Amino acid sequence: MDILNKKIVKKPERKIKILQFGEGNFLRAFVDWIIQDLNDKGAISSGIAVIQPMPSGRINELKAQDGLYTLRLEGIDGGENVKSSRVIDVLNDFIDPYTDYKKYLAYGESKDLEVIISNTTEAGITVDSTDTDLKHCPKSFPGKLLALLKRRYDKFKGDMNRGLAIIPCELIDDNGDELYRCLTELARINKMDEKFIKWMQTANHFTSTLVDRIVPGYPQNEIEEIRKETGYIDNNVVKGEIFHLWVLKKEPRVQELFPADKTGLNVIYADDIHPYKQRKVKILNGSHTAMVPVAYLRGIDTVGEAVNDEVIGKYVRDFIFDEVNHTINLPQEQLNSFAGSVIERYKNPYIRHELMSIALNSTTKFKTRILPTLLDYVKIKGELPRHVLFSFAALVLFYRGKRGKEEIKLSDDPAYLAKWKEMWSGFGGDFKKLAKEALGWTEAWGLDLNTVHPDITSTVAKYLELQCTKGMEEAVNRFVNGADNSAFKWAKK
């Protein structure tokens, strides 16, 4: 069996109009797939030059296959299990700027170049004040991009029509604005001409983005099946889920050069991407974090098992539809559709997502993913979100570190773990005291949650007592079936 190359799969020739910083699984399973679709449907005609952002990477492996690789998409689509494979052929050139800086900078002089796309991890968009020798390859991504833009400015003598559409995909808030800020700061550290800085800021067009697709990466357990299906060896196969979403902030020049929303994929140019970020964090990430302590303490180990369980599945759905969705400023139809897709994604039989992997740093995750829902719900409704507080009580119980007789391998900031241990050491059977101390932990939550609503302390205390005395299985059964309502009827039985 031969290795995939352009002798096996015909590869069209395209001008390189896109420079891509990063060659990892996510870019290849998401952005490059979208660019493939744009090319196939005639919306653009663009090849990609891939820049390896770190000294080590996989551009040599991609180059060995002429830039061709197989994308395997697996998941639930329209209620049916779906698997599909397709060859992506849009990668045309591969540059390691650490070994061929000259070739890298030459792309700054390209008349064809229009778009910069990046995914250099969350830590990639930062200012490295030591990046002051642009005659050699800078260490940071902003340093490399600054050097390229300076070369372009010099080549075209400050022509305002030679600016680029710059589209970062790093998972930080307002990534386009942050990259703009880092480039400006680094240019000034390098004492660059203010005329160049103005050109960089105004001729180039930065947009912020939100990306969403689960990409497990190389499908080791399915590789033989894929080889039999395709008839070739592919060392660069990448696996992703069916679901995809890309939200970009509206910027006319970016939309003109990169019309990614024109081929029917789930790509949106929006006036404000923040509500979409809220939607993802509150619904997807929030429900993940909410389900972990409840499902895990009930004896469940994976996301798929949790949502397919009748009781836990209802708990998660009600958490989203009855509470989270009321706190996001988007049309309910959109929210319900997205929430439905999230549940479908959780049921994906091809991805095994361990609850304990989500449990990492759960203290901070509660603050960033669920606390905004609690505060917004109380502000909007004037009442407490019961599912949020049941989950909070389960979080407190989770940090006791026991699931039955089994020790839970807690993984969090050591200072947080010490505080949880201190709270449980002083418990003494007083649930209200424990609830008050956990809610009042201002170092973790940023405020004393006991002040959010008059009934919050007693509510969390009752949920804690229920979970501790009855066990999580009976507790969540009673909760989902409404037995905790009407002054906690369970306590009277």
Buried b (16+ CB within 10 A) or exposed e, 461-491: bbbbbbbbeeebeebbbbbbeebbeeebebe
What pLDDT is stored for residue 79 in this prediction? 80
> Which residues does residue 166 pair with via DSSP β-bridges, in sequence order?
116, 206
Measure Cα distances from 22 to 57, 94, 290, 317 in Å: 9, 10, 33, 36
Place of tokens 């052929």: 89
What pLDDT is stored for residue 483 in this prediction? 60
Buried b (16+ CB within 10 A) or exposed e, 107-132: bbebeebbbbbbbbbeebbebeeebe
**Closest to 140 measured CA to CA, from 171, 197, 182, 105:** 182
CA neighbours closer than 13 Å in the CB half-sphere of residue 440: 10
Euclidean distance between CA atoms 204 and 195, whole angstroms: 14
What pLDDT is stored for residue 162 in this prediction? 98
Q: Would you state the structure tokens that stand for residue 124, as one six-digit string?
A: 């990639």
Place of tokens 């004037």: 382
pLDDT in tens, 359-411: 988 999 999 999 999 999 999 999 999 999 999 999 999 999 999 999 999 99
pLDDT in tens, 19-47: 999 999 999 999 999 999 999 999 999 99
pLDDT along the chain (493 residues), means of 10: 96 97 96 98 98 94 98 88 94 98 98 97 89 96 98 98 97 94 98 98 98 90 93 96 95 98 96 93 95 98 95 97 95 93 91 89 93 97 97 98 95 94 96 98 98 98 97 96 52 33
Euclidean distance between CA atoms 374 and 378, whole angstroms: 6
Euclidean distance between CA atoms 217 and 196, whole angstroms: 40
What pLDDT is stored for residue 486 in this prediction? 38
Please, what's the largest Cα pairwise distance for the chain? 82
What pLDDT is stored for residue 398 in this prediction? 98
What pLDDT is stored for residue 226 in this prediction? 93
pTM of the predicted model as reported, rounded to 2 decimal places: 0.81
Indicate the residue type of 7: K
CB 124, CB 118: distance < 8 Å: yes
